[in-house]
Amino acid sequence: MSKVSIVSSMSKSSFPLSRRQFLHFSVLSAFAAGLGGCAVPGLDNSGGRQAPMRPEIGVDSDISGFAQMYAAVHDGGFDIPAVPYMRVPREFRRQLVPNTTGERPGTIIVDTKAHFLYYTLPDGDAVRYGVGVGKQGFEWSGRAHVQYKKEWPRWTPPREMIARQPELIKYKNGMEPGLMNPLGARAFYIYRKNAQGKNADTGYRIHGSPEWWSIGQSVSSGCIRLINQDIIDLYGRVPADAPIVVR
């Protein structure tokens, strides 16, 4: 059996585990049990904030890891409901897979056709998440990078979206963070070089979504959406300025 390395959001350490066991990633603190243009459906810095657990990743037929991954989470002052993961096709649930992308460790790769997002690890594996992607006419591809990332971001629809959907004018100054905010619990802001060679906002985001049923579909206005529990997990792994490849 092959060995795997574990990547923590705080540090890197390696120890042997079977690929058919679970991988566990450390957290900043223990969990106490208890769009750019994207379709519409704050951090609590006090000492009482509960950090969500970054659960184990199942790599075999045992589904108990999925129940933990998609359990209800209290995060940033919000109670994210549990996801009925049995209604999410198995291939779109978070899991560890071999890195067949050809990209170096620390890269985000989005396969828009397969509706997968990969985050490559240093040991030849990748964490794979199911995603929702842009609907016809809103697809995009290429190389970019994470300019910055935010927890519980505000969402401000672009002017083009307001022109298409005038009812969104009420959000022209931004929509408050919350469970129904289209950007969900976390957002990565995607930039790349423009025609003048300057670093520019693409207008696209990788973000969470309360609409777990949309994962595996092409429904957004170009953004890449994940289940909220998955974007929280990804957020803890990815540093600012991480490269992104959208295929």
**181-229 pLDDT tens trace:** 999 999 999 999 999 999 999 989 999 999 999 999 998 767 899 999 9
* Cα distance between residue 208 and residue 210, in whole Å: 7
Q: Of the segments 41-45, 105-109, 170-174, which one has the largest average pLDDT value?
A: 105-109
User: Alpha-carbon distance 55 to 121, whole Å?
Assistant: 17
What percent of the chain has pLDDT above 90?
57
Per the CB < 8 A criterion, the answer to whether 175 and 36 are in contact is: no
pTM: 0.75
Whole-number average pLDDT of the chain: 78
Enumerate long-range contacts of 79-88, CB under 8 Å, 24 or more apart: 79/179, 80/179, 80/185, 80/228, 80/229, 81/179, 83/212, 83/227, 83/228, 83/229, 84/212, 87/213, 88/130, 88/212, 88/215, 88/216, 88/227
Query: In one letter, which amino acid is 224?
Result: I
Name the active-site residue from 38, 115, 145, 207.
Answer: 207
Rg for the chain, CA atoms, rounded:
18
Say how many CA atoms lie within 13 Å of 204 toward its Cβ: 26
Over 90: is that where the pLDDT of 109 sits? Answer: yes
Amino acid 57: pLDDT: 59
Residue 233, SS3? helix
Report pLDDT for 25: 35
Catalytic (active site) residue 74: no
Q: List the single range of 15-29, 119-133, 184-198 with lowest mean pLDDT.
A: 15-29
- What's the whole-number mean pLDDT along residues 35-41? 46
For residue 71, pLDDT over 60 is answered with yes
Q: How many CB atoms lie within 10 A of CB 219?
A: 18
Nearest by Cα to 134 from 166, 112, 111, 160:
112
pLDDT of amino acid 159: 84
pLDDT on residue 19 = 41
Distance of CA 7 to the CA centre of its chain: 17
In the annotation, is 207 catalytic?
Answer: yes
Go through 157-176 and write b for each residue having 16 or more CB atoms within 10 A of its CB, e for each that does not. Answer: beeebbeeeeebeebeeebe
- Does CATH place domain 35-42+95-246 in 2.40.440.10? yes
For residue 50, CA distances in Å to 143, 149, 167, 227 come to 35, 20, 36, 19
Contacts for 240 with CB less than 8 Å, ≥ 6 apart: 146, 147, 148, 149
